[in-house]
Structures are given as structure tokens and as C-alpha cells.
Amino acid sequence: MRIMAASLLLLPAAASAAPEDELAAMEKTLSRDVRAFIERKIECNHWAGEEPYDAARARQIERAVQHLKCEALDKDEVALKRRHAGDERALKGFALADEVYR
């Protein structure tokens, strides 16, 4: 009974973990292609939120977005979700990646 009560006390903390922390904990359980996509999606979301406060910064953002192929992100995600449709960990990873820069 004490173990069960202690476990219940931990639930709110686990439920409130940051998506980055959950992804880090899952990292070793995800396939290489899923990990690479999640990293790419997080980076694309990061650059999408950056301010081009001058011409040099605008060029830096544009180069990063092009290098990461952010314009193809949605299409690539559809293909990966199809390929990993039966993998609950991968699907959870995709969802957590969406939450990182919300």
C-alpha cells in the first residue's frame, strides 16, 4: 500500500515534465530516423520563431531553414508516421516534438 501511495505522489511530477525532458528520456528507445526527424523538427520550429532583426540575421535564419529542409517537414513527417504507425514510442515522440516550442 505504501508503494502504491508513493507512486501516486509521483504522477503529477511525471505528467508535468517538459517535452524536452520526456524526449531525452525516450531518445535511446527511438529509431535513428525518428530521432533525426525530431531533432530537425525542433530546430525548424526554433528558427521559425527567430526574429530577423537585421539583414545578416535574416540570411542566417534563411540558411538554417534551407539546410534543415524545413519546407519538406510536413511531407517527411507524414511518411515517417506511416512507416512507424505501429510504434507508440515514435508517435509519442512526434507529438512531443510539436510541444517543444509552443
10 inside domain? no
11 inside domain? no
Separation between Cα atoms, residue 19 and residue 24, nearest integer Å: 9
How far CA 99 is from CA of 1, 7, 57, 102, in Å, comes to 35, 26, 25, 5
pLDDT at 98: 87
What is the number of other CB atoms lying within 10 angstroms of the CB of residue 37? 23
pTM confidence score = 0.76
49 inside domain? yes
Domains held by the chain: number:
1
Condensed to tens digits (0 to 9), the pLDDT of residues 34-53 reads 999 999 999 999 999 889 99
80 inside domain? yes
Q: Look at 101 and 14; give whichever has higher pLDDT.
A: 101
13 inside domain? no
What residue numbers bound the domain in which 70 lies? 18-99
72 inside domain? yes
